[in-house]
Amino acid sequence: MGFPRTRGRRYGIDRREFVRYVAAVSAIPFLPIRVMGQVIDRPAFAADPFALGVASGDPEPESVVLWTRLAPHPLEPGGGMPPQPVRVAWEVADDESFSTVVRRGEAIAVPQLGHSVHVEVDGLRPQRRYFFRFQAGGATSVVGRTRTAPARDALPDALRFAFTSCQHYEVGYFNGYPHMQREDLDLVVHLGDYIYEYAGSDKRPRKHLGNEIESLDDYRLRYAQYRLDDDLRETHRIFPWLVTWDDHEFDNNYAGLVSEEDGVSPEKFLARRMNAYQAYYEFMPLRRRSFPQGPHMTLYRTCHFGRLAGFSMLDTRQYRTDQPNGDHQKPLSGKVFDPRATMLGDRQERWLMGELLRSDAIWNVLAQQVMVAPLNRGTPAEARYSMDQWPGYDVSRKRLLRFLHERRVPNPVVLTGDIHLNWVNDLQLDFEDPQSPLVGTELVGTSMNNGGNGGNVIEEYERAARQNAFVKWYNSNRGYVSCEVTPRAWTSFFRTTPFVDRRGAPVETKATFVIERGIAGAKRA
């Protein structure tokens, strides 16, 4: 979600343009994986090369991704690094003082990937805390802390994780993160809008460097600026993250090959998408399975937390068809019912359904971006729905809900970001039928900070909360959601921070909702 912009006709893709598009894509080089040039073994750095910190992510029972990126001057082009590959050592220990090192190795940070380092450490033990660090030249990074997932067949007593989305540097500070850091979490889940692509603007609490980002260096600089935020960087240092993106990691409200702006050719759009996706990969603790291939990047994947919970991390941007009826708020009509319209794309949808059929998890989590519940934001007489969200893709939405119902997927919980508000929704098979069975629960996380301080009364949403029977709760504060998941119940604590325009906000638990195993729908605790 972002600032609405005027848009007329979309850039339709006819056959001739499609041929041009295919030619353009094949001309876009795929990233080089080979190390080319002389590797620098003992680089001398003018400043701390680990200024961007360390991170970890995508935990598995015996493995986790360790991340860093060498950049002594992160806000300069090239990060202040020489244009050569650099040798980086890493080690993993049981203890913070590294007296018991359990794994160590070397990686090569290559300039083609902005000297980022993604180490997939294996041979670890399940559900254990580990400490890790990197060395390059004479410099040593801060010590990171991470945690492996439980064994695949284990049933842990509890999983604790937090989820958030939508962090806009210019709007202010990421005041939820210091409070998240004090929680005992196994995971942090980010649902997208990790950055915003817009140009720097004056008279705001902070300012983006540069113009609207388009080139690879633009995107890299933007991520570096965000990651230099102490609260964000520290939260990466101490928890493993599971990330997925929304639109602003690339461009507001994009859909597949279609820009929200008129007259942007598919070739130009894809060249920019390649830059955006590469920078995202470079900065996130992702596995090689997510390595970008030109303008394509497979981000959808599963993370199992033993038999307790399975996270299907979804990508609702890259493969979707264009928003119907010109996007924005519209009645459910016309192209909304296009049977060829898709939110996930055929391949991701088949993958998701296969994963859910195979799943032995008690809780089946769909971590994704846009709201599934069909929220009427108009009035009963003049209904309006967001064409960017699942209701705009009626056939896709119904197919997913019917699948969850008919195949009896255990305890589906949908996690949603995007709209900078909290919503707790019952997911009904057919929302037009009051007797329709509930098939799952949707927890919508508010933004970390986008939208400003929040907490104000928004009449449109007050009305929406009243007139949509599936809405259990709505809130306009900023913050994050902390979840405690056990074999018997899923408890969600909606943490909010009263302001974001300056640092140091306290935290409040605005509401607590419980989903009991076997009973769809959340109840206020």
Interface residues toward Fe ion, by CB under 5 A: 1, 166, 193
Closer Cβ to Fe ion, 56 or 477, answer by number = 477
Closer Cβ to Fe ion, 1 or 353, answer by number = 1
Minimum Å gap between C-beta 324 and Fe ion is 21
Closer Cβ to Fe ion, 396 or 447, answer by number = 447
Closer Cβ to Fe ion, 193 or 282, answer by number = 193
Closer Cβ to Fe ion, 134 or 226, answer by number = 226
Separation between Cα atoms, residue 514 and residue 363, nearest integer Å: 13
Half-sphere exposure of 164 (CA within 13 A, CB side): 30
Closer Cβ to Fe ion, 190 or 304, answer by number = 190
Minimum Å gap between C-beta 192 and Fe ion is 7
Q: Which long-range contacts (CB under 8 A, 24 or more apart) does 452-456 make?
A: 452/171, 452/172, 452/478, 452/500, 452/501, 453/172, 453/478, 453/498, 453/499, 453/500, 453/501, 454/420, 454/478, 454/496, 454/500, 455/496, 455/498
Burial class (CB in 10 A: 0-12, 13-18, 19+), 243: buried
Nearest to 144 by CA among 65, 69, 53: 53
Minimum Å gap between C-beta 146 and Fe ion is 27
DSSP state for residue 296 in the 8-state scheme: B
Q: Is the dihedral of CA 36, 40, 46, 49 positive or negative?
A: positive
Closer Cβ to Fe ion, 150 or 454, answer by number = 454
Minimum Å gap between C-beta 259 and Fe ion is 18
Q: Is the dihedral of CA 263, 22, 280, 359 positive or negative?
A: positive
Separation between Cα atoms, residue 214 and residue 234, nearest integer Å: 28
Minimum Å gap between C-beta 418 and Fe ion is 6
Q: What is the DSSP string of 121-162?
A: E-SPPTT-EEEEEEEETTEEPPPEEEEPPPPTT---S-EEEE
Closer Cβ to Fe ion, 430 or 501, answer by number = 501
Separation between Cα atoms, residue 307 and residue 320, nearest integer Å: 31
Minimum Å gap between C-beta 388 and Fe ion is 11
Burial class (CB in 10 A: 0-12, 13-18, 19+), 23: exposed
Closer Cβ to Fe ion, 170 or 193, answer by number = 193
Minimum Å gap between C-beta 452 and Fe ion is 13
Minimum Å gap between C-beta 451 and Fe ion is 8
Minimum Å gap between C-beta 493 and Fe ion is 22
Separation between Cα atoms, residue 236 and residue 244, nearest integer Å: 15
